[in-house]
Structure 1
């Protein structure tokens, strides 16, 4: 597998703990919206600490962008990236991943699991093909919603938020479970379902969708 050493060109805060990073794009580098790569920060002692991150830029952009949620509660790669600066270097490999657009459907994300869907939605918007796609997005608080304004602009009333730990939220309260999915979705037979989030979240949503009648062939997620 090829590797590429790239400079951070821009760092921008997206939420209280999420940043977007624009980095150099290698000549001829390609990916599909929804795909990811292994990335490491080229700082002493961290060069071999590779983690998967999703591209949130478009394939035709002249830069690569990653939107990364940082975790300050332990000394890890995302915490280091939160402290990284323009001019620092990262290393990436080739693009990979099973999440790609296969047709209209419901996108279901937990927290930073929304990142594979960002490039897909941006790509569909540029092609004027958003159609009937919907997003159900689960977070702990309102402040955790990544790119709320952009997603609201792209999806309008097809953007559904559910909040677990903020009593005064104006959005739906609770967690995504079988009852919630049954209430929000009126067709489980004739559309795709795209799922991304923590492992337990994906397993629970996958199980609920199958029990509600979704075909295993219609479920798109990282294996």
Structure 2
């Protein structure tokens, strides 16, 4: 029986990304470039609404990166053409995290995106769902196994600190790595849910 413990899934996701490292890094560089306007706005002290608006290109890049990461997680070639499968509706939903920069209550959607976002991206890529269907699937998965959700969110936060500490150098690796791990977790959760439903 295949191991589906959280540490094994994280390790196997990292290993899958490693096997496709050159293309993963190129895809990560594309995502990092899309996030550069938001980073520049934050570093230069630009008005919050500018940084919030710049969250949309970054989110759009992540929706293109997710299918590539899912392919790597399945052991398939991480073809760069998969970056073109961006999902504008899902990106718009994820970019609501930018409200944390302009509204006192913005921490609420930002926290929701941090918890649901990785699973929404991975679910959309693994199951071929787009837009709000991916958000719905991500929310279900996040609620189904809260410990995994919190662990993935913690990895995202740690990845953010790693990017900041490296002055952005690690940005090309963190997002693809996190999304590959999320894709592995998502596939395991979906398999478990499908098995439960088939036995009822």
Higher share of residues assigned strand: 1
TM-score range for the pair, normalised by the shorter chain length: under 0.3
Question: What TM-score do the two structures reach when normalised by structure 1?
Answer: 0.23
Structure ranking higher on relative contact order (CA contacts 8 Å, 6+ apart): 2
The structure carrying a bigger helix percent of its residues is 2
Larger Cα-atom Rg: 1
What is the TM-score when the length of structure 2 is the normalising length?
A: 0.25
